[in-house]
Structure 1
Amino acid sequence: MNIIEILTPSYDAAWLPWAVQYFFLVAMATTAAITAACVAFTPTHAEARRLLPAAVTVLAMSAIAAPVALLADLHQPARFWHFYAYFTPWSWMSIGAVLLPVFVTLSLAFCLFWWLRKDRLMQITGLALILSAISILVYTGAEIMIVRSRPLWNTIFLPINFALTGWLSALGAMLFVGRWLPGGMAALPSLLIRRLGLTALLLLGLCGAGWVVSGVAGLDASFPAAMELFSTYPTWRLSLLASVILAVFLLIMLRVHPHRLCSPMHSLVCSITMMTAAWVFRWIVLMSVQGVPKYGAGLYLHSMPWGSNGLLGIIGVFGLCTALLAMITWFLDRYPTLSALRPTAA
């Protein structure tokens, strides 16, 4: 009898936690941009307009923080220059290097025109911003979806889920920052946030149902691959159960009376849950899926690094977001309009 020992080599992960931060923040930024741009076309005194301060704050914060996480994920910050010096139009990464600066510029311009109260310029910029945001959603989703060797990634439902969970996180972030904006939580359009949140959950449910139906019909290889994981590994079964419980919990939290939704404690719990759900979804898709071997049985073992490529990096990005939110909310509280910066006549 012979005994054969099979060794599995150790190798670096293709996606690091920096990527989770980037995909989380860029989805938040793009969906906040689309929401803010759409609200900009409502009448000046409409209730929806009350969402703009929170939407603009979230947009400015995430549009600045997302590229920082992306540069960190490139390991060498100067590496981004290669995307322009050696442009490859068949690479989604190279295309994204062109699309992202355009989106960030339009986002900051939109925020500036809102602060200057230039409605016409804000609306014109908003139209371009919507198109730019959609292009970013397509590029970030396609960047992962094109990996055919990973059935769990190679599905059209992945970009859709990225967009919808990003919208959920953006709404949660708006609910979170409202308490520090002029007027506080009372200024937020609670009924609108409730409707948008429930709409996002409904669309996620329909997307999940579509994924199941297409998988059962044999049209999507990611569904049987996921079912094999759920049936074989308790960790994946636990993640599925937690996802269902989290969705039900969010549904209950959003079904309350609109005025209660914006109460300090309820809004805090609801907003953090919405953002956490979107972040954990990206962690499972980007990090946990890498632990599934392309060939063979079992799961690869991976651990969270403590340094800048792991826990420290995650904390650092959230620290950057906190600092940006503090600066933006302080600025809006002190200088709500351009006229506040102009000297008064003697």
Structure 2
Amino acid sequence: MQISELLTPVYDAAWLPWAVQYFFLIGISATTALTAAFAAFGRAGSPARRLLPAAVTVLLVSAIAAPVSLLADLHQPGRFWHFYAHFTPWSWMWLGALLLPVFVTLSLLFCAAWWWGRSGWMRAVGAALAVSALSILVYTGAEVMVLRSRPLWHTVFLPVNFALTAWLGALGAMFLMGRWLPGGMRALPVDMLRRLSLTAVVMMALGAGAWALLGMLGMDPSFDAALRLFADFPIWRVSLAGAVITAFCMIALLQRPARTLAEPLPSAALALTMLAAAWIFRWVVFMSVQGVPKYGAGLYLYDMPWGSDGLLGMVGVLGLCVALVAAVTYALELFPARQRGMAA
């Protein structure tokens, strides 16, 4: 009887948990910007316009918190400066360094226009913001997809799934924000949010079906790579089962009437499930995929640090978001004129 022993080395991860936070927040920010820009063209008092307070709050919070996560992931300001000091238009990261400040600026201008009740300015800025948000979704997806060495990343479905899961997380964040805004969940167009969320889930299912179909036809190598992982490693089968269970839970919650989803417990459960699904997808894409060896057998070992590069950093980002939400909602309470115009 021959015994074969596998030794799995420990490698430092190239993408740290900071990247998960950045892609999570910037995805939510970009998809919220698209949603808010379209809502800005709704009639006064319409469900679309009633969605704006929650959308603007989510946009403002995520547009500020996302760049903080990016700077933390770069570790040192010098790396960020190099994007501007060196002309490298073939790099998606270099393009992102140009696109991101434009997007953040337009997001803040859009929020300011809504805050001061300037509908004309809000729509003009919203049109530019929608284009900028699309550029962010393209750049964030492409800078990961461009890596040919990892089949699980090198697929056109990665940017699509980034966008759809981000939109799902954005809608969940709006569900969550509604409870703390003036008027509470009663002022939120819950039925519209429910329908948009169902649309996002259906589009994700269609995307998964298209990915599987093209993979079985031999047109997308990432599908074969995923099948090998599911066949060889139980932890990946657990991840797949968890994704399916989460999807069924979301669908079950979204099938409930709008008046039920307006209640505190169901709305919180739905919002947190949607946000968790978007975040876990990015954790699997970045951290779990990095554990798959490019050559050889087994999985690389990764222990998440407790310090600023791991758990402490994630808690810090959550704390920043909570502080920004508290500041925005408190500011709304201080401006009765803005409260009266929230549906305008």
User: Which range, TM-score by smaller chain?
Assistant: over 0.9
Q: Distance in 1 between matches of 2:193 and 2:231?
A: 37
Q: Distance in 1 between matches of 2:11 and 2:75?
A: 16
Q: How many residues are treated as equivalent by the alignment?
A: 339
Q: Which amino acid aligns with 2:224?
A: P
- What's the secondary structure of 2:298's corresponding residue? coil
**Match in the other structure for 2:51:** 51
**8 Å contact kept, 1:33–1:107:** yes
**Match in the other structure for 1:230:** 230
CA positional deviation for 1:240? 0.2
- What's the secondary structure of 2:294's corresponding residue? coil
**Match in the other structure for 1:112:** 112
Q: Distance in 2 between matches of 1:129 and 1:210?
A: 30
CA 1:336–1:144 in 2, change beyond 3 Å: closer, same or farther?
A: farther
- What's the secondary structure of 1:172's corresponding residue? helix
CA 1:338–1:203 in 2, change beyond 3 Å: closer, same or farther?
A: closer
* Structure 2 unmatched runs, 5+: none
**Match in the other structure for 1:28:** 28
TM-score normalized by the length of structure 1 = 0.95
* Identical-pair percentage: 61
CA 1:338–1:251 in 2, change beyond 3 Å: closer, same or farther?
A: closer
Tell me which of the two structures has the higher relative contact order, counting C-alpha pairs closer than 8 angstroms and 6 or more residues apart.
Answer: 2
Q: Distance in 2 between matches of 1:242 and 1:77?
A: 38
Q: Distance in 2 between matches of 1:46 and 1:338?
A: 17
Task: Map 1:231-310 onto structure 2 (within 5 A).
Answer: 231-310=231-310
- What's the secondary structure of 2:192's corresponding residue? helix
- What's the secondary structure of 1:23's corresponding residue? helix
- What's the secondary structure of 1:180's corresponding residue? coil
Q: Distance in 2 between matches of 1:228 and 1:66?
A: 34
Q: Distance in 1 between matches of 2:154 and 2:338?
A: 48
Q: Distance in 2 between matches of 1:279 and 1:233?
A: 22
Q: Deviations over 1:2-60 (max 9, x none)?
A: 99988655432110000000000000000000000000001112122110000000000
CA 1:33–1:336 in 2, change beyond 3 Å: closer, same or farther?
A: farther
Q: Distance in 1 between matches of 2:184 and 2:177?
A: 9
**8 Å contact kept, 2:145–2:158:** yes
- What's the secondary structure of 1:319's corresponding residue? helix
CA positional deviation for 1:338? 6.3
Is 1:74 aligned to 2:91, yes or no? no
Q: Distance in 1 between matches of 2:8 and 2:272?
A: 39
**8 Å contact kept, 1:103–1:132:** yes
CA positional deviation for 1:247? 0.2
Q: What RMSD, in angstroms, separates the aligned Cα atoms of the two structures?
A: 1.7
CA positional deviation for 1:77? 2.8
CA 1:179–1:339 in 2, change beyond 3 Å: closer, same or farther?
A: closer
**Match in the other structure for 2:142:** 142
Q: Distance in 1 between matches of 2:163 and 2:309?
A: 25
